[in-house]
Amino acid sequence: MSLKQIVPSRKAKPQSRSRKNLGWLLLVPASAVLALVIGWPLINLIILSFQEFGRAQVFGADIEFIGFENYSNILTDDGFWQVLNRSLVFAAVVVVSTMVVGTLVALLMNFVPKRIKVLVQIGLLVAWAMPQLTAVIVWGWMFNTEYGVFNYLLSQIPGVDFYGHSWLSNPISFFGVAALIITWQSVPFVALTIYAGLTQIPKEMIEAAWLDGASGWQRFKDLTFPLLRPIFTIVIILQIIWDLRVFTQIYALQGLGGLREETNTLGVYIYLTSLGSGEFGLGGAIAVVMVVLMSAVSAFYIKRTLEDMDN
């Protein structure tokens, strides 16, 4: 008997027309709030992206409609493409590391004694609840050039001298530190969400797979993952969205010693273009491009969510 035979098949449950209509009706209040809170500012952002709006316009100069000129400027700017590619690569690294570590922690909590499980959950909640800026300051101190604990510990290795080493002045090590901070704060959400799914898998199924001679990896690949596929899909998509629009950690680390031009991500780039350079129209165009990118990922998320609801 294979493990795939253990996994029960899932069949769609028919829904009555009145139940579906009730669902749409219940969505009306939330949709109205979202249209007011998100829709109206988004419309204004799109309008701004088609205008020449800088510091002069802030102080009363006429606002000029320039069509797609802002979009043409950013799409032909090598700096924008460098930032976009850097953001995509960085998000991919963080998402993979977060999912791997979060999944391992969730599996660990599923097997350890209750007291250890409680301690792990408390630690996860503390890391998750810590403000992003506070986390950057704490980790930035640990990687400090002069008195950072990481430089001290590495320098204790025979033949290794990391005293005075600057982690943030090099773009690669800068993003390594940023990825560590973001992963550290993202793992709790992934771990607790997946662990909640693991608690819903009947123990009899796991025991049957174990008695069938399946290894730990086989049980995860052929039993656990298929059952929790909707959870994994949703968590991965949310992590992609969150990591693509990361701002606080990158901007704060730049202030601690990072080279801004070589470490900008999309969120920081939009901020510096709009408020730093005063090119609000150009910054609006970049933000719209980012919204389109996020919408593409969100559309996939919504599609998979609706499919899971129908199953």
Find out whether 74 and 80 touch, Cβ atoms under 8 Å: yes
pLDDT value of residue 57: 82
State pTM to two decimals.
0.83
Return the SS3 of 186: helix
* Residue, of 97 and 60, whose pLDDT is higher: 97
- DSSP, collapsed to helix, strand or coil, labels residue 64 as strand
Q: How confident is the model at residue 220 (pLDDT cuts 50, 70, 90)?
A: confident
User: Identity (one letter) of the amino acid at 84?
Assistant: L
> pLDDT-derived band of residue 264, with 50, 70 and 90 as boundaries?
very high
- 10 vs 24, which has greater pLDDT? 24
Cα–Cα distance measured from residue 164 to residue 155, given in angstroms and rounded to the nearest whole number:
10
Q: Which helix (H) or strand (E) holds 52?
A: strand 51-52
Residues 6+ apart with CB under 8 A from 154: 160, 162, 165
Helix/strand/coil for 51: strand
**Per-domain boundaries in the chain:** 84-310
- pLDDT value of position 38: 84
Q: For 39, what's the count of Cα atoms within 13 Å in the CB-facing half-sphere?
A: 7
84-310: CATH architecture: Orthogonal Bundle (1.10)
298 has pLDDT over 90 = no
pLDDT of 12 > 50? The answer is: no
Contacts of 125 (CB under 8 A, 6+ apart): 188
Most confident option among 98-102, 113-117, 119-123, 304-308: 98-102
Query: What confidence tens digit (pLDDT) does each residue in 111-164 have?
Result: 888 889 899 999 999 999 899 999 999 998 999 888 889 888 888 888 888 888
Which range, 35-39, 42-46, 61-65, 307-311, is most confident? 42-46
Report the 10 Å Cβ neighbour count for 108.
14
Residue 211 confidence (pLDDT) above 90: no
Instruction: Give the amino acid at 282.
Output: L
Note the pLDDT of residue 14: 52
Name 90's Cβ contacts closer than 8 Å, sequence gap at least 6: 175, 178, 179, 243, 246, 265
Angle between helix 229-244 and 171-198 (nearest 10): 150
pLDDT at 7 over 80: no
Yes or no: say if 27 and 263 are a contact pair by the CB < 8 Å rule: no
pLDDT value at position 82?
94
pLDDT at 33 over 70: yes
Mean pLDDT of 287-305: 83
| Mean pLDDT score, 28-57 | 87
Cβ neighbours for 106, distance < 8 A, ≥ 6 positions apart: 190, 191, 192, 193, 194, 195, 198
Residue 310 has a pLDDT of 65
> Which long-range contacts (C-beta less than 8 Å, at least 24 apart) are formed by 267-271?
269/80, 269/83, 271/247
- Comparing CA positions, the residue from 88, 66, 61, 44 lying closest to residue 278 is 61
Residue % of the chain over a pLDDT of 90: 38
Compute φ and ψ for 51, nearest 5 degrees: -120, 155
**pLDDT digits 0-9 by tens, 53-74:** 888 887 878 888 898 999 999 9
Q: Please, which pLDDT band fits residue 309 given cuts at 50, 70 and 90? A: low
Closest CA to 287 of 78, 87, 42, 86: 42
What is the residue-averaged pLDDT of the chain? 86
pLDDT category, 184, cuts 50, 70, 90?
Answer: very high
